[in-house]
Amino acid sequence: MQQSVFEHMQQMGHEQVVFCHDPHSGLNAIIAIHNTTLGPALGGTRLWNYGSHNDAIIDALRLSRGMTYKAAISGLNLGGGKAVIVADPSQKSEALWRRYGKFVDSLNGKYITAEDVNTSARDMEYIALETQHVTGVPEYMGGSGDPSPFTAYGVFVGMKASAKKVWGNDSLSGKKVVVQGVGHVGQYLVGHLIEEGAKVYITDINEAKLKETVEKFRTVEVIEGSKLFDMDMDVYAPCALGATLNTESINKMKCPIVAGAANNQLADENVHGPMLIEKGIIYAPDFLINAGGLINVAAELDGYNRERVMGNVNKIYDRTLDIFQLSETDKIHTQAAAIKIAEKRLADIANVKARL
Ligand code: NAD
């Protein structure tokens, strides 16, 4: 029997989930607030044509939990939240975004939004007309714009730290890297990899994105998605959607490193985290290395300074090495090690707050 939303919330430790249905604008949205111990819940809004409303709820719950850990491990004073809008990207309209802005506003700042899959800085601009609780708005409106370049850079430094762990040297020059998903983050990541001298292979379900990437970076090679896990590669970089690290893919996988931007890469972290370790594959935890965008939008809240942001994104390198170390000393998989660090900070701060 399918679990109820309350059972899921209890299992994952959510504080609040709110729904909005507005037939006039076509808005069907869910905001999931996982944990606000460290501050207001900040997380992007994903627009996706979900197969069912249950899929949308589960995605919002899983993604918001990841945001709690992402903020906690990155030293940010923010909680974890995420929103999903059930729609086809062709349904985007000013009315939909402005109605959604009002929905965000109704939470009085407990949830702050930003971009995610299928949402852009331009969409944030409409949301900003209805609420101040939005980040990632364009530069000309006083925001920091698209967070993807910062996410991509963070993934790149997390990948280099993984290379250091595996090969004792963090250079990716000459390494075969497969980037799955060449959207906002994937394309910036390809840019860093090419600059570093890596041999980059790309795959995407969207032909236009592949064409755009090949035109921008002449040396990339397109591969078929169905052949991805048959390939001998040095690094697999999942930059599309989650759950690509599952029993089937891990069994096939022939690479020493997985490091990418997608959220919730492990289909089941308790099964697939240990499975990667057993196969000798080093996995750079998603919420740790894809935190660059969050670090960037969070900076909008207390006076944006690009240099400070880049300094914080660079810290992902050492944090990734620390997680690999903890994974070894505690004999736990790398995602569990990252969660352990995040949960410790959450518990410490909850304790401080409870005593004041
Ligand atoms: P995007 O929508 O711009 O790009 C995603 C790309 O993946 C698209 O080109 C899409 O066609 C492709 N794709 C979807 N399904 C695919 C599949 N099965 N195989 C191959 N390609 C597929 O999104 P984005 O902003 O680049 O984000 C990518 C991932 O990184 C998402 O999981 C997102 O949640 C995560 N992420 C993004 C940011 C950010 O700053 N944008 C921050 C943290 C995490």
| Amino acid found at 255 | C
How far apart are alpha carbons 337 and 322 in whole angstroms? 9
- 304 and 327 within one domain: yes
Q: Is the CB of 244 under 6 A from ligand 1?
A: no
User: Cα-flanking dihedrals φ and ψ of residue 291, to 5°?
Assistant: -80, -5
- 221 and 306 within one domain: yes
The reported pLDDT for the residue numbered 188 is: 98
Task: Give a yes or no: residue 271 inside a domain.
Answer: yes
Identify the CATH number of the domain in which residue 15 sits: 3.40.50.10860
Task: Give a yes or no: residue 353 inside a domain.
Answer: no
| Amino acid found at 8 | H
- 234 and 94 within one domain: no
- 54 and 11 within one domain: yes
Q: Is the CB of 263 under 6 A from ligand 1?
A: yes
- 165 and 102 within one domain: no
CA end-to-end span of the chain, whole Å? Answer: 44
- 313 and 214 within one domain: yes
Sequence-distant (≥ 6) Cβ neighbours of residue 42 within 8 angstroms:
67, 71, 78, 79, 80, 81, 111, 112, 113, 114, 135, 294, 297, 298
| Ligand 1 centroid, distance to 97 Cα (angstroms) | 20
Model confidence over 22-36: pLDDT tens digits?
999 999 999 999 999
Task: Give a yes or no: residue 354 inside a domain.
Answer: no
- 121 and 23 within one domain: yes
Length of the chain: 356
Q: Are 228 and 255 in contact (CB under 8 A)?
A: no
Whether pLDDT at 217 is above 80: yes
| Amino acid found at 105 | D
Task: Give a yes or no: residue 351 inside a domain.
Answer: no
User: Cα-flanking dihedrals φ and ψ of residue 283, to 5°?
Assistant: -115, 120
Last residue of a domain, one of 113, 141, 169: 141
Chain-wide mean pLDDT for the chain? 96
Q: Is the pTM of this model over 0.75?
A: yes
- Catalytic positions, written as ranges: 82
How far apart are alpha carbons 349 and 356 in whole angstroms? 11
Residue nearest to atom 33 of ligand 1 (CA): 262
Last residue of a domain, one of 106, 125, 141: 141
- 176 and 137 within one domain: no
- 160 and 137 within one domain: no
How far apart are alpha carbons 271 and 186 in whole angstroms? 27
Domain of residue 320, residue span: 148-343
Average pLDDT score over residue span 182-198 = 97
Whether pLDDT at 268 is above 70: yes
Copy the structure tokens of residue 6. Answer: 């309350």
Radius of gyration of the chain measured on its C-alpha atoms? 19
How far apart are alpha carbons 350 and 344 in whole angstroms? 10
pLDDT band at 1 (very low <50, low <70, confident <90, very high): low
Domain count, the chain: 2
